[in-house]
Amino acid sequence: MLLGGAAVGVGAAGVAAWDELSRWWWRVPGNDKPRTPGAVDYRGAEWVAAASANWRRGDRPDDYTVDRVIIHVVQGSYAVALKVFRDPGHGAATHYVVRGGDGHVAQCVRELDVAFHAGNRAYNERSVGIEHEGFVDRPRDFTDVMYASSARLTADICARHDIPLDREHIIGHHEVPGADHTDPGRHWDWDRYLRLVRAAAKEAAEAGARGSGRPGESGGPSASAEPSGG
């Protein structure tokens, strides 16, 4: 496993002007980033705050470069994950939790803060963590709608932090050095997931180029964070 942040992509050169404008403050070191109550980093996520004991206040990406997305499986339900994240005694939380039945996304920790989820301090500092409802040994828990929703979320995180869409940067908890966890397990379909992430990134980029799908704008087509379930 490659260590160090040198491998971060330089794809930011092509971002549209509006995007630069919308996040210029984000790149200025020492600027206190806005912490609007209830605000989420991923459009379509529902804010469900984790207890402050389960994360550490940060100033990412100024204090730490974010160059990993870490995939977890709850070993339980969406509701259980949110419950334990609200428990200050739990000692852990991820930034996001994705629900299996409909792909609904909760954000529990801001991306600028360091969530305790990887079991490795350096990896906590450099990553965004996503929990998925279900059990590692029950592949039926990994629903189509959950894969698709999670892939859109990961594509969005990677676009905002300039993280390459590959298996070096989108990893499982079990791939964190020193981790004693096995999630997301052998039933997590990485090929499929990476395919979906790349497709979602392409779709979002095309929507951006058309001038739709901007964060904060309503009425944008497709890029719907809310899957239609069916």
Residues 6+ apart with CB under 8 A from 152: 200, 204, 223, 225
CB 12, min distance to Zn ion, A: 29
Strand ranges in 89-138 using DSSP code E only, listed in sequence order: 96-98, 105-107, 114-115, 127-132
Amino acid at 84: V
Partners of 47 in the β-ladder: 107
Nearer to Zn ion, 35 or 186 (CB): 186
Nearer to Zn ion, 107 or 124 (CB): 124
Nearer to Zn ion, 72 or 161 (CB): 72
Nearer to Zn ion, 122 or 225 (CB): 122
CB 8, min distance to Zn ion, A: 23
Cα 82 from chain centroid (whole Å)? 16
CB 40, min distance to Zn ion, A: 22
- The residues binding Zn ion (CB under 5 A) are 72, 173, 181, 183
Cα 80 from chain centroid (whole Å)? 19
Polymer length of the chain: 230
Q: Look up residue 112 and give its two tokens.
A: 């600028």
Nearer to Zn ion, 44 or 111 (CB): 111
Distance CA 112, CA 108 (A): 12
Pairing, β 127-132 against β 68-73? parallel
CB 162, min distance to Zn ion, A: 24
CB 88, min distance to Zn ion, A: 19
